[in-house]
Amino acid sequence: MSKDRGLHASRRGFLALAGLGAAAGAVGAGGAAPVAAQATRARIVIIGAGAGGTALANRLVQRLDGATITLLDPRPDHLYQPGLSLVAAGLKPPAYVVSRTADWLPRGVTLIPEPAAAIDPVARTVATASGQRLDYDFLVLAPGLVLDYGAIEGFSTDLIGSNGIGALYGGPDAAAKTWQAARRYAEEGGVGLFTRPATEMKCAGAPLKHTFLIDDIAQRAAPGKHEIRYACPQAALFSVPIVAEKVRMLFGERGIATHYGHTLTAIDPGTRRATFATVTRDAAGVETRSDTQLDYDYLHVIPPQRAPEVIRQSGLSWADKWVDQGWAEVDQKTLRHLRFPEVFAIGDVAGVPKGKTAASVKWQVPVVEDHLVAAIAGGEGTASYDGYTSCPLITRVGRAMLVEFDYNNNLVPSFPGVIAPLEELWISWLMKEVALKATYNAMLRGRA
């Protein structure tokens, strides 16, 4: 059996490991038999020590003997971002998502606490913000993405938590302040307006989770006093049709109104009015574009998301896809750059059709590891990423649906026949609320 097939054959979803809980932490790298480390003098630079960069570094130190592995990341804190949805619903404190980056890194790698400021893929160098120049043989892009708040006129992160404004993507403080605004809304009632951007985004289930959770909390706090609206630029509630249909039905049952074709462009916090660029189509399919204004008492903002500037300026982005977003031009199966084979991308920055979740990172890291180590040995890797993406979709406090899918929009449940993917279950909630973090931590250590 090829290594590729072996990877697929042994693959269980991200959340299957969650089911194993802490036991996942005891499994060796990938659960595979130990492999002799490859002797090498290769210089490997990893940009970003978040979910992808840290997990890969932990695996590479086990696979390579003598390599120089350098990580760049200016942020001393590691953020467990799946926990932000829980913080923004008052279910976890902000500290739940924060740890120290340095505590996750293995011996044998060097962390430079600076951002990568420029990449020259022809000269194979990375410049840090202070002007240090790093030569590399292999480069891994793992800087995540940036939140483009500036694209929403009138919005400023200072507003989060006041004037009925929430924006949970901004980190632990923003998520905690989002809960302050959302709790006030739950108690007082009125119109709750929930949005998502037109760009690709990390965890596309998170805007829905926040809508469902605040609706649930609000109906218990002050029944009958709320009108919940969900406004999205797309023509469906989720990119996977069967999931979109399920969410549409749940919205219908819960009286949540949907505004398709609505892209948030401006807010007026004083009057609590949001402006959307809207697209409507008549029966003949002719589009009309205009601005529409909706009033709110609580507004949840998720700004457009893009690759960090250093990537967009590097010449490593797609030129003919996602041109306003700048995701790295990599092969969707190998995550290897299409023009610079010594460059790979992992996680949110990768220009692939799915996969901006931590669960995806878990399946991408072994693929990059395989191709990178094979290249060092002068060969070709065989592992392949199939687009696995997962986001436990919380529908109420204590209820969630396990949504896992691949590039082809196939549902790929971790527990086929045991946990139904599109049912609102307590066990699925436990996966998200309790077990996901143990699996994520095992992944960071390179053990899952």
Ligand X SMILES: Cc1cc2nc3c(=O)[nH]c(=O)nc-3n(C[C@H](O)[C@H](O)[C@H](O)COP(=O)(O)OP(=O)(O)OC[C@H]3O[C@@H](n4cnc5c(N)ncnc54)[C@H](O)[C@@H]3O)c2cc1C
Which residue in 45, 213, 264, 358 binds ligand X (CB under 6 A)?
358
- By the rule CB under 6 A, 403 interacts with ligand X: no
Cβ-based nearer residue to ligand X, 134 or 275: 134
| CB-based contact 52:361 (threshold 8 Å) | yes
Closest CA to 46 of 130, 144, 122, 191: 144
Letter for the amino acid at 88? A
Distance of alpha carbon 164 from alpha carbon 183, whole angstroms: 10
CB of residue 115 vs ligand X: minimum separation in angstroms? 4
Q: Which x/- pattern over 376-395 shows residues binding ligand X (rule: CB under 6 A)? A: --------------xxx---
- Answer for which of 64, 97, 151, 203 binds ligand X (CB under 6 A) is 203
Q: Which of 191, 231, 310, 352 binds ligand X (CB under 6 A)?
A: 310
Of 358 and 383, which has the nearer Cβ to ligand X?
358
Smaller CB separation from ligand X, 42 or 141: 141
User: Which residue, 7 or 310, has its beta carbon nearer to ligand X?
Assistant: 310
Residue with smallest beta-carbon separation from ligand X: 50
Verify binding: residue 359, ligand X, rule CB under 6 A: yes
Nearer to ligand X, 139 or 142 (CB): 142
Task: Count how many Cα atoms sit within 13 Å of the Cα of residue 36 in the half-sphere of its side chain.
Answer: 4
- Which of 30, 50, 326, 351 contacts ligand X by CB under 6 A? 50
Asked if 424 interacts with ligand X (CB under 6 A), we say no
End-to-end C-alpha distance for the chain, whole angstroms: 22
Q: Which stretch binds ligand X (CB under 6 A): 16-24, 139-147, 286-294, 313-321?
A: 139-147
Site map for ligand X, 205-244, x if CB under 6 A? -x--------------------------------------
Helix (H, G, I), strand (E, B) or coil at 119: strand
Q: Looking only at residues 81 through 120 of this chain, which bind ligand X when binding is defined by CB under 6 A?
A: 81-82, 84-85, 115-116
**Cα 40 from Cα 43, distance rounded (Å):** 9
C-alpha distances (whole Å) from 381 to each of 273, 339, 369 are: 53, 17, 9
Torsion, Cα of 171, 71, 350, 244 (10° steps): -30
Candidate residues 161, 172, 347, 366; the one interacting with ligand X per rule CB under 6 A: 347
Binding residues for ligand X, rule CB under 6 A, total 36
Looking at the Cβ atoms of 203 and 278, the one nearer to ligand X is 203
Identify residue 447 by its one-letter amino acid code. R
Distance separating alpha carbons of residues 327 and 294, to the nearest angstrom: 32
CA pair distance 395, 237, nearest whole angstrom: 14
218 near 255, Cβ under 8 Å?
no
- From the CB of 291, what's the least distance to ligand X, in Å? 28
434, 27, 14, 95 alpha-carbon torsion, rounded to 10°: 40
The alpha carbon dihedral of 82, 87, 93, 95 has a sign of positive
Which stretches of the chain bind ligand X, using CB under 6 A? 47-53, 72-73, 75, 81-82, 84-85, 115-116, 142-144, 168-169, 202-203, 206, 308, 310, 347-348, 356-359, 361, 390-392
